[in-house]
A and B are shown apart, each in its own frame.
Chain A
């Protein structure tokens, strides 16, 4: 034990030394970031070593206890989120450091992360809503950061509206919970509670998570959220917001029964297929990555549907590292090409470092499941455990198909980067590439380590006991076959420009789904208008003024006093009625 700790300190000694020596004071921003990260890492390792269940800190009254839990899921998520956000903040400093209100932007990113940590570390469903709502608000503020553009505002409001739908459903679910069980603490859900909860409640909760994670029928807001700055996209897609729904589902999946698990798997499978087909047909660089996030979220949810929250959580972590690095390197590309995102125009050559190219290349490989990179460990575990699960056989087929498509669109991104990036031009181009390399290497290399070798670390130190079955060799080589088949398909299709054909572009279905989803809202707005018209509008109500008893109600406008009075009366009436 002691030898181990000494070894550990020796490994991280350079980090600690750099944090102390290369800054003038310990209260420096940079050293604070490094020291907090080191603290988190140390506490994580201590937690792993001690194998305690849960430690909590909090207070409260009756069932309403505000508890910050320090259990497996929350501490691993905090570790992942911290290490990803550290790099993303540095990236934001480089990418939009010259813009106005940079400090506000950074504080918004921090707030975003803070709400996410509240969400992950609270075990009470009611107090979890603080983080849940806060994440929604911060995503709205950050997506329309450049609010002068109409599209940014539109996509921000779209994200907000979709999250509102989900929030209302999750409110209803929690109210049902409170009324039927009188308990909202999630710790008990780790146990087997299959026969306790009605399916309707679970479906309500599921719809809330679908809207937050942009699963099928709620997916159109995620590609539109690309209107925000690239650091926001990197944070939004990797470790906050979209994984919030999947994270909550990981926690609650212990009480889902087989029927609801089948529905969860179906939703995940549809999302995975839709997202991967969308990503195949995209010419826009950032939209490919956005749709790949959708498909990976679908894969996580299918894994949850098979009943493996642990593996789903591992894939979430690996995906966070990979996707944030892909976004950051795409940001470097976009910076170098003077805000060009369409890769058909990138043929002219872009100014960027070779390192970002390698980052994108290897992380795409890792996402596709190249052996012994980070994505391989999680995807391999998913595919291996899928055969042993007693669930739908259609879903297993869809997972294999979606994995092939994942490799194809990853290949498309790699092809884009390798063959369209000609920066061996003039001296100034090389100089600028070197400059961007100098300023981006330090934060990209950390994520590069996570995205390449993080799988080994996470698999063998944190998620130690994983597979429950040995499988035969022909099932064992399926991930490798998927990789090679996907690369073959990509090699045939991508250079022949078949994957840019707009006829097969499923993105045209996004507005259709959007209109279907909002159709109900227009109906409800219509009903609300009738109520409003006959409740508040003129004509027949105005005649009530002439009755002296009621004249105080309608003297032009409603004051706060009247409003308060009627609220109290109404509440008392409700209390006596029920």
Chain B
């Protein structure tokens, strides 16, 4: 829906595929992203690497639910929906991070141009 127009044509202005730039513009005054389970709890649940993200607590809920209602997995539907909601928010957060980094890159470029002049 017009999202494609927001992108710059020049690839050097985009933070696409440059993972170092995100660390460069990190701001520590922002509120800390909260993790609901500890590393030890995730170890006990034997989660895989790809599942150890900020939705891990809901993923563990799903696994517990599956274990509880063994053949009747359809009872876990509300838990799964919660997990999906969390993943959607995670993706939204990633998009916001991308946009923020892109704007900061543009601002830095502008600043460098002024300094050079």
Contact = CB atoms under 8 A, between A and B. Distances in A.
Question: Touching in the complex, A and B, CB below 8 A?
Answer: yes
Interface of A: 1, 3-5, 7-8, 11, 45, 48-49, 51-53, 191, 258, 388, 393, 460-461, 464-465, 467-470
Contacts of B59: 465
15 contacts: A1-B68, A4-B70, A7-B72, A11-B71, A49-B66, A460-B73, A461-B73, A464-B66, A464-B76, A464-B80, A465-B59, A465-B83, A469-B84, A469-B87, A469-B88
B111 interface: no
- Mostly helix, strand, loop or mixed at chain A's interface? helix
A465 B91 CA distance: 16
A132 to B, nearest CB: 28
B72 A4 contact: yes
Contact of B71 (A8, A52, A393, A470): A8
A44 to B, nearest CB: 12
Which 7 interchain pairs have the tightest Cβ spacing? A4-B70, A468-B87, A4-B71, A460-B73, A461-B73, A8-B71, A469-B88
Interface of B: 4, 17, 46, 48-49, 59, 62-63, 66-74, 76, 80, 83-85, 87-88, 91
B84 A465 contact: yes
A6 B116 CA distance: 77
A3 B68 CA distance: 10
Which residue, A51, A53, A393, has most C-beta atoms of chain B within 10 A?
A51
Given A4-B72, A52-B46, A460-B73, A467 B67 contact: no
Contacts of B71: 4, 7-8, 11, 45
Contacts of B88: 468-470
Contacts, number: 54
Given A11-B71, A51-B66, 17 more contacts: A1-B68, A7-B71, A49-B66, A51-B46, A51-B63, A191-B49, A258-B17, A460-B74, A461-B73, A464-B62, A464-B73, A465-B83, A467-B84, A468-B91, A469-B91, A470-B84, A470-B85
A1 B64 CA distance: 11
A52 B67 CA distance: 13
A465 B72 CA distance: 15
A468 B59 CA distance: 13
B80 A465 contact: yes
Contacts of A51: 46, 63, 66
Nearest to A11: B71
B83 to A, nearest CB: 6
A45 B91 CA distance: 32
Contacts of A464: 62, 66, 73, 76, 80
A7 B71 CA distance: 8
A195 to B, nearest CB: 9
A5 B67 CA distance: 11
Contacts of A11: 71
A469 B69 CA distance: 25
Nearest to A470: B88
Nearest to B4: A393
A49 B46 contact: no
B101 to A, nearest CB: 16
A208 B73 CA distance: 39
B69 A4 contact: yes
A308 to B, nearest CB: 14
A143 to B, nearest CB: 40
B100 to A, nearest CB: 18
B73 A1 contact: no
A253 to B, nearest CB: 14
A145 B47 CA distance: 49
Contacts of B85: 470
Contacts of B70: 1, 3-5, 8, 49
B91 A49 contact: no
Contacts of A388: 91
A250 B84 CA distance: 23
Nearest to A192: B50
A444 B116 CA distance: 77
A11 B76 CA distance: 21
Contacts of B67: 1, 49
A441 B80 CA distance: 38
A51 B73 CA distance: 14
B87 to A, nearest CB: 5
Contacts of A470: 84-85, 88
Nearest to A461: B73
A258 B17 CA distance: 10
A464 B74 CA distance: 10
Contacts of A191: 49
Nearest to A258: B17
A41 to B, nearest CB: 12
A51 B60 CA distance: 11
A279 to B, nearest CB: 33
Contacts of A7: 71-72
A469 B84 CA distance: 7
A109 B73 CA distance: 35
Given A1-B67, A51-B63, A468 B84 contact: yes
A17 to B, nearest CB: 19
Nearest to A3: B70
Contacts of B74: 460
A388 B85 CA distance: 15
A52 B4 CA distance: 41
Contacts of B49: 191
Contacts of A8: 70-71
Contacts of B80: 464-465
A171 to B, nearest CB: 31
B56 to A, nearest CB: 13
A11 B70 CA distance: 13
Contacts of B17: 258
B90 to A, nearest CB: 9
A11 B4 CA distance: 52
Nearest to B68: A1
B48 A53 contact: yes
Given A191-B49, A470-B85, A465 B62 contact: yes
Contacts of A53: 46, 48
Nearest to B84: A467
A177 B58 CA distance: 39
Nearest to B83: A465
